[in-house]
Structure 1
Amino acid sequence: MVGAMRLTAVHVHPVKSLGGVAVDRATVEPWGLRHDRRWLVLHPDGGVLTARTEHRMLGVTAAPAPGGITLTGCDGGTLTVPEPTDGVPVPAGMSRLDTVRLAGDDAHHWLSGQLRRPVRLGWLDDPRRRPVSADHGGRPGDPLNLSDAGPLLLTTLPSLRRLDEWIVEGAAERGEPAPAALPMARFRPTVVVDGPVEPFAEDGWRTVRIGAVDFRFAERCDRCQLTLIDPVTFTTGREPIRTLARHRRHDGRTWFGVRLIPLGTGEIGIGDEVDAG
């Protein structure tokens, strides 16, 4: 086992593809962190809208609120949306999930105004209805929230530091000025770990313990164009995919971080000791 590591950040993104919030502590449930990725934004026809195509989604923040979520828009306006426990079921437009429940009309109207296009807001009432795919390391009975593939995404600061070094080296080779360090937020992790480990050591971990909660490795995380979008300016660049493609390209894809599946439940928090092996 690898010791002397600590949990340095915990992030909850209540709405898929919207901005999330950093928290000091979170409760681990079988399908992921409590409040994480239980909501999603839908086109009027039922398809899922993500920040890959609508970059402004990254400028709208969702935070947990008692019995629901609070949305904060690009203009600073806010709206609290209760969980639509009796909401109308509509097609989810996601793999391994038939329906989600629609929020109220005020949520649709407010969010449509923020994103400047007609949308609807949906909520997953019971994550046990959506399994983790076997293609992504799932076993029978593993439930999943609205994440693409796994309940938790773990990244490490040593890996990010090495990636930043590679990006700077590449810029120097091209005769370009050194860019600013890449924020971990580009990768939208749920948990971030730091400690005396080699960069990308997480690729080889098969078990992880954070505090008193155990997890198993599901798979490495392949990275998509969402990482190319600056969450502040909404502009798209070439990093980190350009550099990952040079140093971390395998099987035709680029990799950063690992997906984990909880083996139990409990609370984790910043400063918790992390063991892996």
Structure 2
Amino acid sequence: MRITQLNIYPVKSLGGISLDAAQLTAEGLAWDRRWMVVDDVGRFVTQRQLPRMAQVRPHLESDALVLCHPEAEPLRVPLSTKATERLPVYVWEDRCEALDEGGEARDWLVRVLGDLRGSGLRLVRFAPNHRRRVEPDFLAAGEQAHTGFADGYPFLVATTASLAALNLALEASGGEALPMDRFRPNIVIEGGEPFSEDGWREIGADGWRLGLRKPCQRCKIITVDQQNGEIRHPGEPLKTLMTLKPRLAWKGAFFGQNAILLAGEGTTIAVGGSLAVG
């Protein structure tokens, strides 16, 4: 088994960044989902509501997060901040503490994304030292984990074998093969049989281990082309995924595994690196 991709998404539901190497933290790969777009009442905003969010491409410089869009000058957000006033924001049912990135970011987001049913948009960052606990239902006895603005877990693991199986089914029904970016994983692994990751409890190598704790239920975001924010084939690949891999006790479509850090905080992992599963 080996790692073939490492991806981070510094702003929840905006474009991703592919890396050759990344540092493991308890909250996920370093800089993953540390920022988020919210509406006027602090509710998280994603491609579920605004598919064109995929057109906003981030990159990281030594001192700034830079957001780029073809219709605007880049927005620079310093990695360090002097802001101290915390505001409540919400990811699903979780209340989180955040720092507002200010008026320039608000104006820029509205210029490139428009409003959301009459609401403005704000860019917020996860507040320092705030802890958002991972749901305990799928953790082993005694385990605790926390994350940033991800939907629920700090890591999402996917495999190339599972994507290949899905693409075969899509093409067999007259559809188009899809790239891995539709599923927005953090760590992509090559090796094993399709969907064998559903039976893994751990992955890792010398110095680090992740625990795979919950299958990732997919939503309409996987119908969005991550390069242009368009939905060319509504309902796909959700429909095919549900028929390809039904879960008798679970409703919905699933692809990938949500994971937590078990050991190795601060360790750097790299594309091409070997790992073991168990």
Q: 1:149 to 1:170 in 2, by over 3 A?
A: same
The answer as to 2:271 corresponding to 1:270 is: yes
Q: AA paired with 1:10?
A: L
Deviation at 1:62, TM superposition (A): 1.9
Q: Name the CA distance, whole Å, in 2 between partners of 1:119 and 1:189.
A: 25
Partner of 1:253: 252
Partner of 1:244: 241
Deviation at 1:137, TM superposition (A): 3.3
SS in 2 for 1:49: coil
The answer as to 2:213 corresponding to 1:218 is: yes
1:122-178, Cα deviation, whole Å (9 max, x unpaired) = 00023651111113537654111110111110110011001001111222xxxxxxx
Q: Name the CA distance, whole Å, in 1 between partners of 2:129 and 2:32.
A: 11
Q: Name the CA distance, whole Å, in 1 between partners of 2:205 and 2:37.
A: 31
> Equivalent of 1:18, from 11, 14, 17?
14
SS in 2 for 1:62: strand
1:50-87, Cα deviation, whole Å (9 max, x unpaired) = 11110111100122233441111133631210243424
Q: Name the CA distance, whole Å, in 2 between partners of 1:87 and 1:113.
A: 26
TM-score scaled by structure 2?
0.89
SS in 1 for 2:146: coil
Q: AA paired with 1:135?
A: D
Q: Name the CA distance, whole Å, in 2 between partners of 1:188 and 1:209.
A: 20
Partner of 2:131: 129
Deviation at 1:234, TM superposition (A): 2.5
Contact kept? 2:212, 2:259, Cα under 8 Å:
yes
Q: Name the CA distance, whole Å, in 1 between partners of 2:224 and 2:127.
A: 30
Contact kept? 1:211, 1:268, Cα under 8 Å:
no
1:10-64, Cα deviation, whole Å (9 max, x unpaired) = 0010000000110101000011010000100011222211111101111001222
TM-score scaled by structure 1?
0.90
Q: 1:128 to 1:215 in 2, by over 3 A?
A: farther
Contact kept? 2:218, 2:253, Cα under 8 Å:
yes
> Equivalent of 2:188, from 179, 188, 192?
192
Q: AA paired with 2:109?
A: L
In the TM superposition, 1:1-277 aligns within 5 A as 5-75=1-71, 77-82=73-78, 83-94=80-91, 95-117=93-115, 118-126=120-128, 128-137=130-139, 141-171=144-174, 179-195=175-191, 197-210=192-205, 212-236=207-231, 237=233, 238-250=235-247, 251-264=250-263, 265=265, 266-277=267-278
Q: Name the CA distance, whole Å, in 1 between partners of 2:4 and 2:206.
A: 12
Q: Name the CA distance, whole Å, in 1 between partners of 2:139 and 2:8.
A: 22
Q: Name the CA distance, whole Å, in 2 between partners of 1:182 and 1:248.
A: 17
SS in 1 for 2:173: helix
Seq. identity, %: 31
SS in 1 for 2:31: coil
Structure 2: tracts of 5 or more residues without a match: none
Q: Name the CA distance, whole Å, in 1 between partners of 2:210 and 2:130.
A: 18
Q: AA paired with 1:77?
A: E
Q: Name the CA distance, whole Å, in 1 between partners of 2:137 and 2:49.
A: 25
Deviation at 1:199, TM superposition (A): 0.6
1:167-217, Cα deviation, whole Å (9 max, x unpaired) = 11222xxxxxxx43201000000011112x111110000010056321111
Q: Name the CA distance, whole Å, in 1 between partners of 2:73 and 2:270.
A: 30
Q: Name the CA distance, whole Å, in 1 between partners of 2:209 and 2:128.
A: 22
Moved more, 153-162 or 38-47: 38-47
